[in-house]
Every structure is written in C-alpha cells, then in structure tokens.
C-alpha cells in the first residue's frame, strides 16, 4: 500500500500505478450512484485540477454503511487499486476497497454546489473558494510563479532582500499610505488631533510601505544586484479590477544598469514567466483558456516569441491622438496614460507587450533620472494585453545636484531623506530597477477579469475579511 500519494502523482505516472494498491486523501467534489449498484465519487486533493474517479460498490460491506455520508465537500481517505478507466475523460480510476470519512459536510448547508458560482459570491466564502477549480488553479499557478521568480533572479546573480513593511517614507510620493499607530483614534494624543507623535509607538509618523525600492537602492549600491518580493500597501481609493490595497511586488534593483539594461531585464523576466506558465502549468493553463479567456494561450505564446515594442511617452501620445479612437480620458502631452490608453497601445496598435519610456518629469516621483531635455525622466512602464501596466520602473537619479533639485521641486524633505541623499554623496553610481505587481502578473497569465481572484485574500476599500 503506497501512502501519501497525491492525485497529481497518479495522473502523472499512469502506467506506473495501474494495478497497484494506493491510499489517497481529499475532498469529495461529487458523488453519483448508478443503477448498476456502483457509486462514482470524484475526489480532489488540490494537487492538480483533475479529480480522481473513485469506483465504489454500493453493496461492498467494507463501506456500505458509510457511502450515504460521502457528500459533496466531505473529507475522505480511500484505499484501493488503480485501474485503467473505461470511462471517457480519464485514463485511470480507483477501485475502492476501504473508505474512511474524516469530516462530513452537510449538503443542506455546504455552500459549494456542482454548478458554477459567481466570483462575487465566492469572495464572500474565501475560506471555501480554494476548493473550486478556478481558485485552485490560480493558487497553484501563483505558487509556481513565486518559485520561478526566485529561480530567475538567483540564476542572474540577484540577492533576495527583505525590505521593511513598516517605514517612515512614502516612496512613490502619492500620499496613498496607511498609517501605523498604536494610539486609539479617540485618544487625545492620536495623530491628526493636533498632538505630537511622542506618545505613539515609533515616536514619529509611520506607515505600511508602498514599495521597497528606496531600501533596495541602499543594498544595490553595496551588493550590486538585489530584488525584493513582498507585500506592499496602497490606500488608493480606486475600486477597479486592477487595484488592491494590499498586493505583492517584485522589485529588482541593479547597480551599473542604465534604462536599456533595465528594459532588457524586464523583458527577459516577463518572457521567462510566460514560458513557465506555458511549460510548467499546462493543465491549469488549458483550464483558463477553455473557461476564462480563449485568447490566453496565444497571448502567452506571443509574449514568449515576439520582440517587445519600445516607444517614448511622446510617441505614445502621438499614436493615441492619431488613432481616431474615442477615449474617456483626453490624451494630451503631460497627462498620465490611463488604463484605456495602455490597453489600446498594447492590444490594438502593437498587439504585443510595449515598453513606454521617458515620461514627463511632472508625472513621476522624485527619484527618477532627469533626461537631457530636462522635461522628461528615464521612466519605463511595461504594458501587456488584457492588463495594461504590469511593470513600472526607472533609472534612478544618481547625481547629487539634480536629485536635490528634484526633491525641492517635488516638495520632498531633504532632512527626512538624508540617508537617500548620502548615497549620492558617498560613492554614487548609476543604477536602475522596476516593480512588477505580482497580482497583475497572475491576472495576466490566467486571463482573470478581476484582480481580486488573483490573491488568496483580497483587500479593497471596504473589504478586509478573513
């Protein structure tokens, strides 16, 4: 009897297990009894999309009395023999010899039915939605991508860096920050009530980080190449299908990289991850292509096989203006590109990933390197079909005098960022980096319409359950 077998192992080595006794454990997806006296149980253990068909004789004395309790959602153990399946849709099945019920699920109240549930409904039962095909598949892809991301950077000499979650700096300068405090908001010394911060835990204003970039720069200017992979937080009050209040970001930062090196790294990164999904998540990808987004597989193949387009912001604005397309937000030099513009560029104009570089200085944070024209900075956004912006990055300003000008212009306190300025006083060097929104990536490779399905427990305005 081979114990601890995952159903994925059985399906991956069909020949090897046929005729052998095994023990499997999982949750019942469905059970159906035939007139011929056989019960068919679809057992899923989360190791792969497919469920294993368990064939149980209704009159088998070993478990006859148990079968009526084998309801949808129940957790069970089955011992039996693997056999070639005569049925359609599966190569093997399990002839049950012994069944044990770990935990019954009452069919009168178990919320997951055989039918398709809406994603909105599933979000309300986030403790049970991992047992659905879609969320199970997303979760496996997410895990596989996490591993591939570490592998990608390890192979290129990047050191994994842990940057703080609690910080005093607002890297992006957008003011969309969650305050961290131990003071009761009703306490007379609470921040905002006109009192000082001395009673608060850190004795100064502290926030959840919006990005690990500034700290990553510190280590890039010592170790050369680093990357972060951690949670970030933004109090953007935007209820869109691409924004979360808590999301994970991967931020590589490399000394001696200019914008072109940065673009090359970003392109290799995305191509590599698209290939991982094509090659290592085939079963789940087929599922997403069949049920979620028919163009998904070809989209990923395009990413792997075609070169990326690279255009300047100024060219992008020109293309959009000349397209004749009606946009909700006006296209004008100096305005930020909106999701509708990004998607039009990558989906309609170029039909492949697009890097947009050299954005207006006024649109971007203080740390981006000022170009010779003085009007633009060495920024880079990568846009992909279906999602729009998936990466934002830049070459960083390494010149002390220009950085100080930028900070003055943007109203950044030089005192608060003394350490950041000092990095330009002591051995400054050209360096660059970018941030990839992990859930945007998961959304992109699964074709999901809403980013809330791309993370196990989505946090959005008004929602922080579970």
What is the binding site for ligand 4AD (CB under 6 A)? 171-172, 211, 213, 234, 236, 243-244, 247, 249, 251, 389-394, 433-435, 437, 439-440
* Residue 243 near which of Mg ion, ligand 4AD, none (CB within 5-8 Å, type-dependent): ligand 4AD
* 3-state SS, residue 424: helix
Dig out the tokens for 387 from the structure. Answer: 């999602």
Contact 178, 247 (CB under 8 A): no
Q: Which residue's CB is nearer to ligand 4AD, number 171 or number 311?
A: 171
Place of tokens 């019954």: 104
Q: Smallest distance, Å, CB 299 to ligand 4AD?
A: 17
Q: Smallest distance, Å, CB 327 to ligand 4AD?
A: 20
Whole-number Å distance between alpha carbons of 52 and 97: 15
Q: Which residue's CB is nearer to ligand 4AD, number 74 or number 446?
A: 446
Instruction: Write the CB contacts of 218 (distance below 8 Å, at least 6 apart in sequence).
Output: 419, 423
Whole-number Å distance between alpha carbons of 195 and 308: 52
Contact 444, 300 (CB under 8 A): no
Q: Which residue's CB is nearer to ligand 4AD, number 225 or number 243?
A: 243
Strand segments, DSSP code E, in 190-292 are 207-208, 225-233, 246-255
* Residue 390 near which of Mg ion, ligand 4AD, none (CB within 5-8 Å, type-dependent): ligand 4AD
* 3-state SS, residue 144: helix
Q: Which residue's CB is nearer to ligand 4AD, number 29 or number 396?
A: 396
Q: Which residue's CB is nearer to ligand 4AD, number 131 or number 424?
A: 424
Whole-number Å distance between alpha carbons of 111 and 367: 50
Phi, psi of 27 (to 5 degrees): -115, 140
The per-residue DSSP string of 357-389 comes to: EEEEGGGS-TTBPBPTTSSEEEEEEEEETTTEE
Q: Smallest distance, Å, CB 342 to ligand 4AD?
A: 10
Dig out the tokens for 169 from the structure. Answer: 């700096």
* Residue 236 near which of Mg ion, ligand 4AD, none (CB within 5-8 Å, type-dependent): ligand 4AD
Q: Which residue's CB is nearer to Mg ion, number 229 or number 288?
A: 229
* 3-state SS, residue 7: helix
* Residue 9 near which of ligand 4AD, Mg ion, none (CB within 5-8 Å, type-dependent): none
Q: Smallest distance, Å, CB 65 to ligand 4AD?
A: 51
Q: Smallest distance, Å, CB 432 to Mg ion?
A: 15
* Residue 39 near which of ligand 4AD, Mg ion, none (CB within 5-8 Å, type-dependent): none
Whole-number Å distance between alpha carbons of 72 and 70: 7
Q: Smallest distance, Å, CB 232 to Mg ion?
A: 12
Q: Which residue's CB is nearer to ligand 4AD, number 257 or number 287?
A: 257
Q: Which residue's CB is nearer to ligand 4AD, number 78 or number 442?
A: 442
Q: Smallest distance, Å, CB 449 to ligand 4AD?
A: 15
* Residue 217 near which of Mg ion, ligand 4AD, none (CB within 5-8 Å, type-dependent): none
Query: How far from 461 is each of 107, 126, 241, 332, 391, CA to CA, in Å?
Result: 33, 17, 12, 30, 23
> Which residues are 32's β-sheet partners?
40
Which residue of this chain has its Cβ atom nearest to ligand 4AD in the complex?
392
* Residue 434 near which of Mg ion, ligand 4AD, none (CB within 5-8 Å, type-dependent): ligand 4AD
Q: Smallest distance, Å, CB 250 to ligand 4AD?
A: 9
Whole-number Å distance between alpha carbons of 300 and 291: 16
* Residue 169 near which of Mg ion, ligand 4AD, none (CB within 5-8 Å, type-dependent): none
End-to-end alpha carbon distance in the chain: 39
List contacts with Mg ion (CB under 5 A).
392
Q: Which residue's CB is nearer to ligand 4AD, number 44 or number 446?
A: 446
Q: Smallest distance, Å, CB 151 to Mg ion?
A: 26
Which residue of this chain has its Cβ atom nearest to Mg ion in the complex?
392
> Which residues are 392's β-sheet partners?
381, 435
* Residue 244 near which of Mg ion, ligand 4AD, none (CB within 5-8 Å, type-dependent): ligand 4AD
Q: Which residue's CB is nearer to Mg ion, number 70 or number 379?
A: 379
Phi, psi of 216 (to 5 degrees): -65, -35
Q: Smallest distance, Å, CB 262 to ligand 4AD?
A: 9
> Strands 92-103 and 309-312, how do they pair?
unpaired
Contact 241, 419 (CB under 8 A): no
* Residue 393 near which of ligand 4AD, Mg ion, none (CB within 5-8 Å, type-dependent): ligand 4AD
């Amino acid at each position: 009897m081979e114990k601890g077998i995952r159903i994925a192992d059985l399906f991956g080595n069909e020949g090897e297990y046929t005729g052998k006794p095994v023990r499997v454990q999982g949750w019942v997806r469905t059970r159906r009894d035939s007139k011929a006296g056989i019960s068919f149980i679809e057992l899923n253990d989360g190791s792969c999309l497919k469920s294993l068909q368990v064939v149980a004789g209704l009159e088998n004395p070993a478990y006859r009395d148990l079968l009526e309790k084998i309801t949808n959602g129940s957790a069970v153990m089955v011992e039996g023999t693997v056999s070639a399946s005569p049925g359609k849709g599966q190569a093997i099945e399990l002839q049950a010899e012994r069944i044990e019920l770990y935990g019954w699920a009452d069919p009168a109240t178990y919320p997951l039915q055989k039918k398709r549930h809406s994603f909105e409904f599933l979000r309300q039962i986030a403790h049970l939605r991992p047992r659905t095909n879609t969320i199970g598949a997303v979760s496996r892809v997410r895990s596989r991508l996490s591993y591939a991301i570490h592998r990608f950077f390890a192979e290129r000499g990047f050191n994994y860096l842990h940057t703080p979650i609690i910080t005093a700096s607002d890297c992006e300068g957008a003011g969309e920050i969650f305050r961290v405090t131990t003071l009761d908001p009703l306490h007379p010394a609470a921040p905002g009530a006109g009192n000082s911060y001395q009673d608060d835990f850190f004795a100064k204003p502290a926030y959840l980080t919006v990005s690990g970039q500034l700290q990553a720069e510190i280590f890039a200017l010592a170790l050369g190449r680093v990357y972060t992979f951690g949670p970030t937080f933004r109090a953007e009050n935007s209820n869109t299908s691409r924004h979360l209040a808590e999301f994970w970001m991967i931020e590589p930062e490399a000394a001696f990289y200019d914008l072109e090196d940065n673009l090359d790294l970003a392109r290799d990164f995305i191509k590599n991850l698209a290939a991982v999904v094509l090659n290592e998540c085939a079963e789940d990808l087929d599922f997403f292509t069949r049920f979620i987004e028919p163009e998904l597989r070809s989209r990923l193949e395009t990413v792997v096989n075609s070169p990326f387009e690279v255009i300047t912001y100024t060219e992008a604005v020109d293309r959009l203006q000349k397209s004749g397309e009606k946009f909700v937000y006006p296209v004008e030099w100096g305005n930020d590109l909106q999701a509708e513009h990004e998607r039009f560029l990558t989906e309609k104009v170029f039909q492949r990933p697009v890097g947009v570089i050299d954005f207006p200085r006024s649109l971007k944070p203080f740390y981006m390197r000022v170009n010779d024209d003085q009007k633009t900075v060495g920024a880079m956004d990568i846009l992909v079909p279906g999602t729009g912006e998936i990466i934002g990055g830049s070459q960083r300003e390494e010149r002390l005098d220009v950085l100080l000008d930028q900070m003055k212009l943007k109203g950044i306190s030089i005192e608060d960022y003394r350490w950041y300025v000092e990095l330009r006083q002591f051995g400054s060097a050209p360096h660059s980096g970018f941030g990839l929104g992990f859930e945007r990536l998961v959304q992109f490779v699964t074709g999901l319409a809403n980013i809330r399905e791309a993370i196990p427990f989505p946090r959005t305005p008004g929602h922080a359950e579970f």
